Chain A
């Protein structure tokens, strides 16, 4: 329901998949997706700020309903981390898991906002053309998160085992310390190190991107008439309900995988 004159299916989808960009310099790399960045920053600040406000006044006595809610969330995360990560988790891993879960959940949840209505609001209320509302449907976000976790796994691996220990593990596990096996060990470890952030980020990106596309395809039925509009709306509701599961599930999977990778970095083989 874009206001553009020549409205074809491909232009409709193109319109919804174009990021608002700011060019920082020469070349295609020095570009900033301002919509992704602003949405994720707003959601991060709001969600973590809310938790911070609650936590600042946390009492050990009878908790308020809001505090009980935040405690429930934190204890849920803490339980998950405790089951996966067997070390001192309170100094980094558990709070990081909380950040990931809350943030990614909210970023994913932007998918629930009706895509065309939001596009209209962004365009007519805020004056923003080509504003994408779901930051996790932007591959930059998921890669940023996954690569940050990846860097942290290498950091913790070196911190726990020492640089020599880490190098030793690269060559000597999982097959054994025999020099003949060194190339195979190294090859396997390199593949693992490359595949981890790729699968980690692309899993989340793919699901959210596909969810967005399906909403768009259902939205396009509105172009076929009243029956198509109603049918598309009904299916859209169905997909949105199913999408609740996907959104929460993938926020959870993303967090658990991050914890698993961090705990693998802490364990020596």
Chain B
């Protein structure tokens, strides 16, 4: 335990080591660490911002969805109304058309009946004339008995 010049030399070595660390070691690593801390802080902030934006977007999307649903409902209601209108109109048109057809058919039937009756009457008149001529056993002269035939015909009507 003797103090000697080693003390001085160790003190010099110590000073040089401290100087070296202060100058070449500490600032560089501190800078790297601080830069990384900044990066991490930035990253965290960006993450936070992204989360907030996502929240906002999801809120907006749900709003849009709600609106779309509402509009779709409205459109469906309108479409249903329109469909029932169309059906109603079609029914009316069909009824009118049907009535028209029925009326036409009736008129035709009546016409048919009329023409059938007419032809029937003529045949009956012919038969009557034939029958009468057979009864009289002679030829009924159409020219001579024209008035008679006409009177029969009118009676048969």
Contact = CB atoms under 8 A, between A and B. Distances in A.
| Main secondary structure on A side of the interface with B | helix
A36 B10 contact: yes
Contacts of A91: 22
Interface stretch (A138-146, A156-164, A223-231, A233-241): A138-146
Nearest to B29: A55
A52 B24 contact: yes
A61 B6 CA distance: 44
Given A58-B28, A71-B29, A32 B20 contact: no
A265 interface: no
B10 A32 contact: no
Interface residues of A, number: 48
B18 A95 contact: yes
16 contacts: A28-B4, A36-B6, A44-B13, A48-B21, A51-B21, A52-B20, A52-B25, A55-B29, A60-B39, A71-B33, A91-B22, A92-B22, A141-B10, A144-B9, A144-B13, A145-B11
A98 B14 CA distance: 12
Given A31-B2, A40-B10, A139-B3, 10 more contacts: A56-B28, A58-B28, A58-B31, A60-B35, A71-B29, A74-B30, A95-B22, A98-B25, A145-B10, A148-B15
Contact of A48 (B5, B6, B20): B20
A92 B27 CA distance: 10
Interface string A178-217: 0000000000000000000000000000000000000000
Contacts, number: 126
B142 interface: no
Question: 5 smallest A-B Cβ distances: which pairs?
Answer: A60-B35, A144-B10, A95-B26, A140-B6, A58-B32
Interface residues of B, number: 33
B17 interface: yes
A248 interface: no
B17 A48 contact: yes
Interface of A: 24, 28-33, 36-37, 40-41, 44, 48, 51-52, 55-56, 58-61, 63, 67, 70-71, 74-75, 78, 90-92, 94-96, 98-100, 103, 135, 138-141, 143-145, 147-148
Interface of B: 1-11, 13-15, 17-18, 20-22, 24-33, 35-36, 38-39
> B26, B33, B36 — which one has the most chain A CB atoms within 10 A of its CB?
B26
> B2, B6, B17, B29 — which one has the most chain A CB atoms within 10 A of its CB?
B6
A48 B15 contact: no
A31 B3 CA distance: 9
> B2, B17, B20, B38 — which one has the most chain A CB atoms within 10 A of its CB?
B17
A141 B21 contact: no
A33 B6 contact: yes
A59 B29 CA distance: 8
B26 A90 contact: yes
Contacts of B24: 52, 55
> B2, B7, B35 — which one has the most chain A CB atoms within 10 A of its CB?
B7
B157 to A, nearest CB: 122
A55 B2 contact: no
> A24, A92, A95, A100 — which one has the most chain B CB atoms within 10 A of its CB?
A95
Contacts of A99: 14, 17-18, 20-21
A136 to B, nearest CB: 10
A216 B10 CA distance: 26
A51 B8 CA distance: 26
Nearest to B14: A148
Contacts of B6: 31-33, 36-37, 138, 140-141, 144
